[in-house]
């Protein structure tokens, strides 16, 4: 929550009682950072407007919590909620809700009159909005004298004139012709860029959703696609703001192989982010682009287009020498093959990784033994790789990857060559590393059982992220069932997941 403006945690909304209960929103969790332009899509009845109504405090939650800047609004009294709405929220609805007896300017001034500000400030703010939204020339006209698009921009001005922290828009283009809709959406984009307004928009229209820069979520239930970039150019200021809050930011990354007419697109405009301390999994069928994506994150392979930022450093712009230094100082690798040297003992294989960093002998031995103890292989330190089990080899590979305390651990099918018991032991080790060492882990897998240990999963299909799951407070068994449901839609490799 520290990094988010809004945090929605396992929110549910039911209507009715007894046997006649309708579930409108089912355990929804997501977050919105300040300055994001977020859209929610879905068919009629998917829960879009219900979700927005709960965010706006117009409706209450049945279960779960909604935090604004760490304040749980689900616990506030009605008086405090009223004050919260007045100080924080702005609303734009499908209907303009303008008073026909007031001019355009007077409709905007009406919103300011509730805040007891000085007349000079009131007029200044009103005219600022009129100019920003391009309706200064119709300030003295009445709503019935102007077009639908101009009415909606007046509604936007009224919503923004008090400088709310969050603008909530419910099907704002629903009653507009295509040209007016495009004008309004461009206005939203300008508001988001110039005023740094946080916008949360519900829509059923794909054209409208394409203006959302940060991400859209399809419906209020299971399906979610994070960080889908808009088709147009996005303001650079928002890109920087999002990156400030993330450890890794992947922006519109593409990877092609071949040339001329024989080009294969392995990764197609993928965008997402990873926060420090997350355990993120990537799933998909063979050929979906999983390993290609991991190779680009690890700098083993380069991007064809797009950018990858680590703590605001664009690694796609680094020279080979700087990339080598970056890998050495930041990354750890665990692969399906253990890549241990059979002529060295388990301890010596781990020490080998430390020897590249020119540390004192005492520190080297201390770190090595710390890893041996943490991963439960201290009793086999003097054995050679061919003398130990596959699970023990893989834990040695993990120790070697972690002994230099990398900021990110990259794992490519780490359980692929293990029996089920060794796989479970390794995954529990990953969970411990993530919990105790706060290691950030990015794991590629085709196996649903392995993926169920992650905190978040991105699903790839044909080189694109088409779906995301977050575990939240679910049990691992519940999360596993959700993963299997998604894999059944993607053509994922279920044979290994049963």
What is the predicted pLDDT for the residue at 479?
A: 93
Q: How far apart are CA 56 and CA 29, in angstroms?
A: 16
What is each CA distance from 359 to 200, 400, 405, in whole angstroms?
Answer: 50, 15, 13
What is the predicted pLDDT for the residue at 22?
A: 81
Assessment of whether the complete model's pTM goes beyond 0.85: no
Question: Could you tell me if 385 and 351 lie in one domain?
Answer: yes
Q: How far apart are CA 14 and CA 220, in angstroms?
A: 13
What is the predicted pLDDT for the residue at 115?
A: 67
Range of the domain at 359: 258-496
92, 96, 101, 104 alpha-carbon torsion, rounded to 10°: 60
Termini Cα distance of the chain: 35
Q: CB under 8 Å to 378, separation ≥6 — which residues? A: 369, 372
What is the predicted pLDDT for the residue at 176?
A: 65
Asked if residue 48 belongs to a domain, the reply is yes
In the predicted model, residues of the chain with pLDDT beneath 70 are 1-3, 43-44, 114-117, 175-180, 213-245, 417, 489-498
Question: Using an 8 Å Cβ cutoff, are 453 and 431 in contact?
Answer: yes
C-alpha 226: how far from chain center: 5
Report the number of distinct structural domains present in the chain. Answer: 2
Asked if residue 476 belongs to a domain, the reply is yes
Question: Could you tell me if 170 and 274 lie in one domain?
Answer: no
Asked if residue 250 belongs to a domain, the reply is no
Please list the alpha-helical segments (H only) found in 252-319.
Answer: 290-297
Question: Could you tell me if 135 and 280 lie in one domain?
Answer: no
Angle between helices 390-402 and 346-355 (to 10 degrees): 20
What is the predicted pLDDT for the residue at 489?
A: 65
Question: Could you tell me if 84 and 149 lie in one domain?
Answer: yes
Question: Could you tell me if 181 and 311 lie in one domain?
Answer: no
Q: How far apart are CA 309 and CA 271, in angstroms?
A: 11
Question: Could you tell me if 225 and 275 lie in one domain?
Answer: no
What CATH number does residue 487 fall under?
3.40.50.300
Q: How far apart are CA 282 and CA 266, in angstroms?
A: 15
Name the token pair of 333: 């690798």
Question: Could you tell me if 95 and 181 lie in one domain?
Answer: yes
Q: Give bridge partners of residue 69 from the DSSP assignment.
A: none
Q: Which of 242, 267, 290 is the last residue of a domain?
A: 242
Question: Could you tell me if 304 and 333 lie in one domain?
Answer: yes
Question: Using an 8 Å Cβ cutoff, are 357 and 404 in contact?
Answer: yes
Q: How far apart are CA 447 and CA 483, in angstroms?
A: 10
Q: Which of 210, 242, 274 is the last residue of a domain?
A: 242
What is the predicted pLDDT for the residue at 244?
A: 38
Q: How far apart are CA 288 and CA 438, in angstroms?
A: 29
Asked if residue 1 belongs to a domain, the reply is no
Question: Could you tell me if 233 and 264 lie in one domain?
Answer: no
Q: pLDDT tens, 334-377? A: 887 788 888 899 999 998 888 777 777 888 888 899 889 888 89
Asked if residue 312 belongs to a domain, the reply is yes
Q: How far apart are CA 110 and CA 108, in angstroms?
A: 5
Question: ∠ CA 32-445-423 to the nearest 5 degrees?
Answer: 120
Question: Could you tell me if 263 and 212 lie in one domain?
Answer: no
What is the predicted pLDDT for the residue at 1?
A: 37
Name the token pair of 288: 């979906």
Question: Could you tell me if 279 and 387 lie in one domain?
Answer: yes
Neighbours of 99 (CB within 10 A): 11
Question: Could you tell me if 87 and 230 lie in one domain?
Answer: yes
């Amino acid at each position: 929550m520290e990094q988010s403006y809004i945090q929605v945690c396992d929110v549910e909304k039911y209507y009715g009682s007894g046997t006649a209960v309708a579930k409108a929103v089912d355990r929804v969790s997501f977050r919105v950072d300040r300055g994001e332009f977020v859209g929610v899509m879905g068919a009629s009845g998917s829960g879009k407007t219900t979700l927005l109504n709960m965010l706006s405090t117009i409706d209450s939650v049945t279960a779960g919590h909604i935090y604004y800047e760490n304040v749980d609004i689900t616990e506030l009294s009605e008086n405090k909620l009223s004050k919260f709405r007045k100080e924080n929220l702005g609303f734009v609805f499908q209907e303009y809700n303008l008073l026909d007896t007031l001019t355009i300017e007077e409709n905007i001034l009406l919103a300011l009159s509730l805040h007891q500000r000085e007349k000079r400030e009131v007029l200044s703010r009103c005219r600022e909005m009129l100019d920003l939204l391009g309706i200064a020339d119709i300030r003295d006209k009445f709503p019935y004298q102007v077009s639908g698009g101009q009415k909606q921009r007046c509604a936007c001005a009224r919503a923004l004139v008090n400088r709310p922290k969050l603008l909530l828009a419910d099907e704002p283009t629903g009653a507009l012709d295509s040209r007016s809709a495009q004008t309004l959406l461009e206005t939203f984009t300008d508001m988001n860029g110039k005023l740094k307004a946080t916008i949360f928009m519900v829509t059923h229209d794909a054209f409208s959703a394409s203006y959302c820069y940060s991400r859209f979520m399809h419906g209020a239930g299971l399906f979610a696609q994070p960080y889908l970039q808009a088709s147009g150019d996005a303001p650079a200021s928002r890109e920087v703001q999002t990156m400030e809050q993330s450890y890794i930011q992947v922006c519109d990354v593409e990877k092609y192989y071949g040339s001329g007419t024989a080009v294969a697109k392995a990764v197609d405009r993928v965008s997402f982010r990873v926060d420090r301390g997350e355990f993120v999994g990537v799933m998909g069928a063979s050929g979906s682009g999983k390993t290609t994506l991991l190779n680009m994150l690890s700098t083993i392979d380069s991007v064809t287009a797009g950018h990858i930022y680590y703590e605001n450093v664009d690694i796609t712009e680094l020279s080979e020498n700087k990339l080598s230094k970056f890998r050495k100082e930041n990354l750890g690798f665990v692969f399906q093959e253990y890549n241990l040297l059979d002529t060295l003992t388990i301890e010596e294989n781990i020490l080998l990784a430390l020897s590249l960093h020119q540390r004192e002998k005492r520190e080297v031995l201390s770190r090595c033994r710390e890893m041996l103890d943490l991963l439960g292989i201290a009793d086999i330190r003097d054995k050679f790789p061919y003398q130990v089990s596959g699970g023990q080899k893989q834990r040695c590979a993990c120790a070697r990857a972690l002994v230099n305390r990398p900021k990110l651990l990259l794992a490519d099918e780490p359980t692929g060559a293990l029996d089920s018991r060794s796989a479970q032991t390794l995954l529990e080790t990953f969970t411990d590393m993530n919990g105790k060492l706060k290691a950030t882990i990015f794991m590629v897998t085709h196996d649903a059982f392995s993926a169920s240990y992650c905190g978040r999963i991105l699903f790839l299909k044909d080189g694109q992220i088409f779906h995301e799951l977050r575990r939240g407070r679910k049990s691992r068994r519940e999360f596993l069932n959700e993963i299997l449901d998604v894999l059944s839609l993607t053509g994922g490799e279920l044979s290994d997941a049963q």
